[in-house]
Structure 1
């Protein structure tokens, strides 16, 4: 069934205190709730619930606010619902009228809602955060004329891939799947496989690489024996066993110079990306394209780019998303030298770093290209961009967009918080000046 209506229209309870009487309505989170058009979520997501039977879905404002709070404060699904029942400001932000002591929903409901709304629904969350930033005075309409484009890596939640670990885990999973299918294997290599994996790690730590390769060859040989044994004895393969067998075969045939390598058994979509960083030469995940405003650094576009394309080949896709979310095609895009040699199909002019013989106006604007670097850093340190726990390529796409929405909300809260302190300072100064003072020099106090 469709989502439940919010409790705003419920009858008043004389024996309970409303949240607006418990909280400070000048709090930045309460003011942020006024900037977001919550009815837009109901209008956008309600048509997706076509069934008229079954239990009603949770309220759209509740689920949208939980997704916002999760990426605003960099929490897991479990942590955000647990902290929600302790924080009255979060409950007011979610549209609750009275304080609740129970969980708003099961953490798995966030998983199902993400799967239902998909990447388009997450982009809608990002679009509403951009609109809230415009209402809050964080950006202006003219700020969308010049954007900064850059790419980064969104690491996947996987262990560091080593040949010894991958080969041994593939053998263990294939043996377990065969035993569940009722296949009696000739040998499982459980004891020697585990010992060889540990020994290979010891040799690698001691930089004895020839001995390490010897242990890896043993693990590869044992994996091949198990694969052939399963194929000989299995009649009609079950779906689970066929999937494990395909993964094991792919890993068994994988060589040093192979293309599209397998780096994680549970996340075959993870890729190895080299970004030239001294601290992390290689990162395993997916490339993400980021678009921020050149003046304020608000995220106006964020999209995953599977396949690790050349940075210049991501321009058209990223500018298309900016136009969809903001309704405006940027006139100028500031990029680094990784975008050389391309032209935008939308007519947007690309200004590449270190371009000479530019007018003073464009030369000054080009200096704002570096604004995207700290924004990416904040999304990784303050947000959840540093580690993606969502499953599959769709999880990569949704997580990237939601991280951009969380970054925008943090910028809006910082603006509201700073504005509150300015008002408090001005009020305190006005009170000091207006009170009957015994100071000798009131003009000095005013200054």
Structure 2
């Protein structure tokens, strides 16, 4: 249900502080609060909500402002709530009329927002940012003579990266030990509701002692690791027999414990099967390998980096145009990013109405199929040509020199996308995703790119409005953000209604 009052920003004089004084009008949060069109955002936020039914929701400005604060400052859910509680500038930013020394809401609200936000929400917002920048630049594409297609224009940079999850570094022995401990907890809970008078023997103390003996060694040999793996497999297999016996004794058509326990039982069973096959076949890999029991969707992705040969998380194919980074492909399994290039080029054409003039990427993207597609559409690939290098002669020496300089310049122009990944990982913790489920992890990653793109939009507005009066700057800036953010909020609520129907 909608419970809404106009979110038009109060003046600084109207914001009361219990300790006296007044807010600084030059503070960044004060400036942003004046530029963002809160009423327009609230209108889009409440479009799919009922005005008479359901539980009253939090004020739109409070929710939207808190999301912006969280990802801009790279805070946890709990820390974001505490920062708003303690900082009067942040309370002014989220629309409170006076300073209140109490939490504005519970931190679990962020979890619900992430559950409701899908890929289409972020995709529509990204496209809105791009269209807003294009309208401000008034860029018009020309026509090729005798053709109905617009001339190729622009530069697209593509690359792939891995967003690592916040999990413990997985080893076979530690995973089996965790699975064994979960199986012991299952035995304890099933025994409590069974008719047995004596608990099945699990040898948990001995198993724990054996695990610590190997885990404390700095560099255990292959024979010791194999022996420890065999021991943990035996303990786990014995526990599975006890669990099956207890389930048969309790009976019933459904699993007698909570659904989370049933899910854990399935996961550790699958983990045991993978580890047993690798142990018997003396291999160190298998398909769809589980590296985290709490997050079984996470997969190991071999990257071949000097510091991280293997990364554990999701892989992203990203294209960047004028500083705006767009996630074109999101997946948990390792994939060859070169297969996404044609789809990324077609997405570029849908956004801008034309093909790019040049595509900058590393050598893995230069497959014959990709080169053929780009040649058919008059797109230059900024990479080394296939085949043997041309023999230098007096007639082509200057041409070869220019081509070499062009390839060097293309390599330099590709650096910004590596910088964008560095910004995301160092500034926004893209390499430490703390969400637990598949959907919330994807929403977390897309939110990071959303904030980075929003910062590019803010810088673009500041550069565009240099030398313009302050009143005109605020009006133009508000209109630009209204167009970009209102669509985003509307899409959030539309998908929220689909995923979480009204009661």
> What's the TM-score once normalised by structure 2's chain length?
0.70
Secondary structure at 1:225 match in 2: helix
Instruction: Work out whether 1:299 is the aligned partner of 2:325.
Output: yes
Q: More deviation in 405-414 or 207-216?
A: 405-414
Secondary structure at 2:46 match in 1: helix
Tell me the residue number matched to 1:270: 298
8 Å contact from structure 2 (residues 7, 95) kept in 1? yes
Tell me the residue number matched to 1:76: 76
Secondary structure at 2:8 match in 1: helix
Tell me the residue number matched to 1:160: 169
Rounded to whole Å, the distance in 1 between the matches of 2:459 and 2:237 is 57
Tell me the residue number matched to 1:428: none
Rounded to whole Å, the distance in 1 between the matches of 2:324 and 2:437 is 27
Once the two structures are superposed, residues 14-63 of structure 1 have per-residue CA deviations (whole angstroms, 9 ceiling, x without a partner) of 7947xxx9444444444444554545544544344358433211233322
Relative distance call for 1:90 and 1:70 in structure 2 (3 A) is same
List alignment gaps of at least 5 residues for structure 2: 142-152, 279-283, 387-399, 469-503
Rounded to whole Å, the distance in 2 between the matches of 1:374 and 1:123 is 22
8 Å contact from structure 2 (residues 9, 33) kept in 1? no
Rounded to whole Å, the distance in 2 between the matches of 1:192 and 1:127 is 58
Once the two structures are superposed, residues 232-258 of structure 1 have per-residue CA deviations (whole angstroms, 9 ceiling, x without a partner) of 231343344432221121111112332
Once the two structures are superposed, residues 237-290 of structure 1 have per-residue CA deviations (whole angstroms, 9 ceiling, x without a partner) of 334443222112111111233210110001001010122211111110110122
Instruction: Report 1:400-411 matches (<5 A).
Output: 400-411=445-456
Rounded to whole Å, the distance in 2 between the matches of 1:377 and 1:315 is 22
Relative distance call for 1:63 and 1:145 in structure 2 (3 A) is farther
Instruction: Work out whether 1:370 is the aligned partner of 2:384.
Output: no
Secondary structure at 1:214 match in 2: helix
Rounded to whole Å, the distance in 1 between the matches of 2:88 and 2:328 is 31
Tell me the residue number matched to 1:311: 337
Relative distance call for 1:82 and 1:316 in structure 2 (3 A) is farther
Instruction: Work out whether 1:145 is the aligned partner of 2:154.
Output: yes
Relative distance call for 1:176 and 1:422 in structure 2 (3 A) is farther
Instruction: Work out whether 1:246 is the aligned partner of 2:266.
Output: yes
Query: Displacement, 1:321?
Result: 6.4
Secondary structure at 2:295 match in 1: coil
Tell me the residue number matched to 2:236: 223
Rounded to whole Å, the distance in 2 between the matches of 1:127 and 1:103 is 35
Rounded to whole Å, the distance in 2 between the matches of 1:109 and 1:275 is 35
Once the two structures are superposed, residues 386-442 of structure 1 have per-residue CA deviations (whole angstroms, 9 ceiling, x without a partner) of 11111222123212211112223444566789999999xxxxxxxxxxxxxxxxxxx
Once the two structures are superposed, residues 81-127 of structure 1 have per-residue CA deviations (whole angstroms, 9 ceiling, x without a partner) of 21123334333433444444332221111111222233333445555
Rounded to whole Å, the distance in 2 between the matches of 1:134 and 1:39 is 25
8 Å contact from structure 2 (residues 9, 95) kept in 1? no
Q: More deviation in 328-337 or 77-86?
A: 328-337
> What's the TM-score once normalised by structure 1's chain length?
0.78
Query: Displacement, 1:354?
Result: 3.0
Quick one: which of 410, 423, 430 aligns to 1:385?
430
Rounded to whole Å, the distance in 2 between the matches of 1:50 and 1:322 is 37
Tell me the residue number matched to 1:210: 223
Once the two structures are superposed, residues 186-209 of structure 1 have per-residue CA deviations (whole angstroms, 9 ceiling, x without a partner) of 222321221122122234x23322
Tell me the residue number matched to 1:426: none
Relative distance call for 1:327 and 1:288 in structure 2 (3 A) is same
8 Å contact from structure 2 (residues 318, 325) kept in 1? yes
Query: Displacement, 1:319?
Result: 5.5
Rounded to whole Å, the distance in 2 between the matches of 1:337 and 1:37 is 44
Tell me the residue number matched to 2:204: 190
8 Å contact from structure 1 (residues 126, 402) kept in 2? no
Secondary structure at 1:173 match in 2: helix
8 Å contact from structure 1 (residues 152, 289) kept in 2? yes
Q: More deviation in 278-287 or 360-369?
A: 360-369
List alignment gaps of at least 5 residues for structure 1: 424-447
8 Å contact from structure 2 (residues 382, 410) kept in 1? no
Q: More deviation in 227-236 or 359-368?
A: 359-368
Rounded to whole Å, the distance in 2 between the matches of 1:323 and 1:245 is 48
8 Å contact from structure 1 (residues 146, 330) kept in 2? no
Instruction: Work out whether 1:354 is the aligned partner of 2:393.
Output: no
